[in-house]
Amino acid sequence: MQREKSPYSVQAVGSAVALLQLLTEEHLAPTLPYIAETMGLSRNKVFRLLVTLEERGLVEKEESSGCYRLGFPAAELAQKVLKSVSLIQIAHPVMESLARKHDEAVYMTVLSGDEVLFLDMVDSGQQIKAAPLVGERFPFFTNAAGKAIRALESRDILERFFRKRPRRQSAVEVRLLEEELNQIRNRGVAVDTGGLGEGIITVAVAVRDYAGKVVGALTMLGPSFRMLTERLETEIIPSLVEGAEILSFKFGYAKI
C-alpha cells in the first residue's frame, strides 16, 4: 500500500530517492532515457538529478554504454545503516542488564564525524536523572564516550581535528587532551564530569569488532551524587568493562 504523501515532502528529494531505488534493481543497467521514461520525468530533470548524485559519488556513469549504477559511497551508506541497526540489536540486551544492575541510564554511542551520537538507551528507574539523549550529538572531547573512542584511534586525529575548528585551541589545551586520551588508552575506560551538563558524570568503555576497529562505546551516565568515586571504581567501571568485552566478543573481537 502506498503511503500518503506528506505536505512537507520535497519533490526533488523524493525524485532523487526514487532514482536511487531504481538503480538498486540488480537486473538493470539503465540509461538516461530509460530512467526518464520509467520515472515519468523529463530527460532534462533526470539529467540534473544524475549530475547532482554523481558529484556526491552516489551514482556512477559508464561512459562507454551511457548506463548508470550506484557508486561505492551509496553502498557504504547502506552498510553504515545496517551496522547501526545490528549494533543496537546486539548491544541492547547487555545495556538492559547493566541498567537493571546499577539503576542508571546506559547508552550505546557511536562516532559520527567529530561528534558522538547517542544511538540507543536503556533508562534508569530513578526519580532524579538526566534528560534522554537518544539522537543527540556532542563534540567528542566533551564527554567520556567520545574520549573512549578517540583514545583508541590514530594519534594524529587530534591535530587534524583542531586544525578544522574555527577557534584555534591553545597548545596547552591540545596537550592536556592528548594526555587525557593517553591515560584513557592505558586504562581502558573514560570518566568525564560536567561535559554533558552540570553535575552529570559519564563513564564509557570502547567496543571493538573482529578487526580491532572501534565500533562505539558502552556508556553510563548519572548525577554526581550517585556516581561517587568508590561506586565508580568498585561497581560501575568493572561492569562496563565486562559489558564492553561481551559486546566486543559478539562482534568477533578477541584479545591476543
Residue 189 gets which letter from DSSP?
Answer: -
**CA 251 to CA 246: how far, in whole Å?**
9
CATH topology of domain 78-250: Beta-Lactamase (3.30.450)
Partner residues linked to 193 by β-bridges: 201
Contact call for residues 69 and 59 (beta carbons, < 8 A): yes
Predicted TM-score (pTM) of this structure: 0.64
Kindly give the confidence (pLDDT) of every residue in the chain, 256 residues in length, as a single tens digit, with 9 standing for 90 and above: 344 454 544 677 778 888 888 887 756 678 999 999 989 999 999 999 999 888 888 888 888 888 888 876 766 666 565 456 678 888 999 999 999 999 999 999 998 878 899 988 999 999 888 888 988 889 888 899 999 998 887 566 666 666 665 555 666 767 787 888 889 988 999 999 998 989 999 999 999 988 888 999 999 999 999 999 999 999 999 999 999 999 999 888 877 6
Residue 159 C-alpha cell reads as 591535530
CATH topology assigned to domain 11-70: Arc Repressor Mutant, subunit A (1.10.10)
Q: Where are the domains of the chain?
A: 11-70, 78-250
